[in-house]
Amino acid sequence: MKKGYFGDFGGQFIPELLMPPLIELEEAMKTILPTEEFQTRFTNMLKENVGRPSAITYCPNLSKDLGLDLWLKREDLNHSGAHKINNTLGQGLLAKMMGKDVLLAETGAGMHGVATTVAAAMLDMKAVIYMGATDVVRQAPNVGRMRLMGAEIVAVESGTKTLKDAINAALRRWLSDQETTHYCFGTAAGPHPFPTLVREFQQIISKEAREQFMARNDGNLPDVVVACVGGGSNAIGMFHNFVPDESVKIVGVEAAGTGEPGCYSSAPIDHGTDGVLHGMMSKLLQTEDGQIEPSHSIAPGLDYPGVGPEHAHLDAIGRVDYTTINDAQAINAFKTLSRREGIIPALESSHAVAYAIENREKLQGKSVLVCLSGRGDKDLGILDQIL
């Protein structure tokens, strides 16, 4: 009877009142997703509105500096500036075809909120976006974009006022409004079927990247594939089609926060333990009593005390190496990629780029393909305060 597990992780740990909409969504995945109508409309939207396929870019200057071949999968070039749009258009179209007229979402960095608002506008739906009050301040440009495109923004004042509290509040709203509203979950986490649904829409990243890399490298696969991991949606999308390739080392980069003792990181795989939050059994930052710890990262999109259950599983079976990068290392990568290649990465993606920089000695001569999950314009305010 249990559904949606990746090994020991996953499941549906939510109030009974949310089971009917989850069952309805699972049913829609079976009956609507495979139809020609859905697939044709979705593919066309990705091509005409998002700009897919996104490029892969070779970084000649940084490759020379580091002594390795650095490639980027350019999700930052997507419309609205990040990988998030792949998922929101997919879920938005699915919801529309299910007869819903409101897209509800939570957002940390704001990118998922923007992408949900774009999807809602394109599909003639209403967007309701929950955002921690702290993140509303940290990510003001994205709040402005969402408002401009017609979203209702709800600033969440409870708890730590960041992503986890925005998720709590959005789940409460969904409890009440489930008949008209689809909860457009932003990452490959949460109760089943969200981790599977989000991966379904994000796996196009690795499908394209794998084909593009091989076309540019005489049919060879990259030695290393890297992505940053918050909830883990860009990462699961980037990893999925490389998982069967045993020669490819896959690396997930969590945020170590300030890196100082006592700092709440955002690295539940590295520093967390098994537990239940937001509908899933996964790795969590928590106290011995099972209370959820606040997280910290300079990158709001990574600032989450949990991680998608498939990542917890990929860690448990040893297929993916999860490691950490701290705020200072990410800022260095942010500046370095900007100056050496003219590409301003999101602070989230900077953690993945930083992996290549910080590990250059052991990566000498290797080809490293990094998912550049989003662009960094949104983070200039944060950087202005630091630099």
Partner 1 sequence: MNKMQVKIEEARAKGKVGLIPFLPAGFPNREQFWKEMEELDAAGASVIEIGMPFSDPVADGPVVEKASLKCLEDGINLTWILTELKKRKGQFKAALLLMGYLNPVYQYGLDKFGADCEAAGVSGLIIADMPLEESQFVKDAVEPHNVALVPLIGLNTTKERMRLYADGAQGFCYFVSVLGTTGQRESLPARIKEKLAEAKEVFDIPVALGFGIKHPDQLKEFGGLMDAAVFGSALISHIESGHSSDSFMEPWK
Q: Which residues bind partner 1 (CB under 8 A)?
A: 1-3, 11-20, 158-159, 164-165, 168, 171-172, 175-176, 178, 275-279, 284, 286, 288-292
Minimum CB separation of residue 19 from partner 1 in Å reads 5
Nearest to 254 by CA among 241, 266, 242: 266
Type of residue numbered 150: G
Minimum CB separation of residue 83 from partner 1 in Å reads 26
Q: Which residue's CB is nearer to partner 1, number 269 or number 347?
A: 269
Q: Which residue's CB is nearer to partner 1, number 138 or number 192?
A: 192
Minimum CB separation of residue 172 from partner 1 in Å reads 5
Minimum CB separation of residue 366 from partner 1 in Å reads 40
Q: Which residue's CB is nearer to partner 1, number 138 or number 278?
A: 278
What tokens appear for 76 in the block? 């930052």
Cβ pair 123, 152 in contact under 8 A: no
Minimum CB separation of residue 251 from partner 1 in Å reads 29
Minimum CB separation of residue 299 from partner 1 in Å reads 22
Burial degree of 217 (CB within 10 A; 0-12, 13-18, 19+) = middle
The one catalytic residue among 59, 184, 228, 371:
59
The one catalytic residue among 79, 83, 112, 296:
83
Check if 59 is active-site.
yes
φ/ψ (deg, to 5) at 234? -70, -35
Q: Which residue's CB is nearer to partner 1, number 67 or number 290?
A: 290
Q: Which residue's CB is nearer to partner 1, number 72 or number 156?
A: 156
Q: How far are the Cα atoms of 24, 129, 199, 209, 331 from residue 74, in angstroms, in the given order? A: 34, 26, 18, 9, 19
Check if 228 is active-site.
no
HEC profile for the chain? Answer: CCCCEECCEEEEECCHHHHHHHHHHHHHHHHCCCCHHHHHHHHHHHHHHHCCCCCEEECHHHHHHHCCEEEEEEHHHCCCCECHHHHHHHHHHHHHHHCCCEEEEEECCCHHHHHHHHHHHHCCCEEEEEEEHHHHHHCHHHHHHHHHCCCEEEEECCCCCCHHHHHHHHHHHHHHHCCCEEECCCCCCCCCCHHHHHHHHHCHHHHHHHHHHHHHCCCCCCCEEEEECCCCHHHHHHHHHHCCCCCCEEEEEEECCCCCCCCCCECHHHHCEEEEECEEEEEECECCCCCECCCCCCCHHHCCCECCHHHHHHHHCCCEEEEEECHHHHHHHHHHHHHHHCCCECHHHHHHHHHHHHCCCCCCCCEEEEEECEECHHHHHHHHHHC
Q: Which residue's CB is nearer to partner 1, number 14 or number 89?
A: 14
Minimum CB separation of residue 17 from partner 1 in Å reads 5
Q: Which residue's CB is nearer to partner 1, number 171 or number 307?
A: 171
Minimum CB separation of residue 289 from partner 1 in Å reads 4
Q: Which residue's CB is nearer to partner 1, number 247 or number 291?
A: 291
Provide the annotated active-site residues.
59, 83
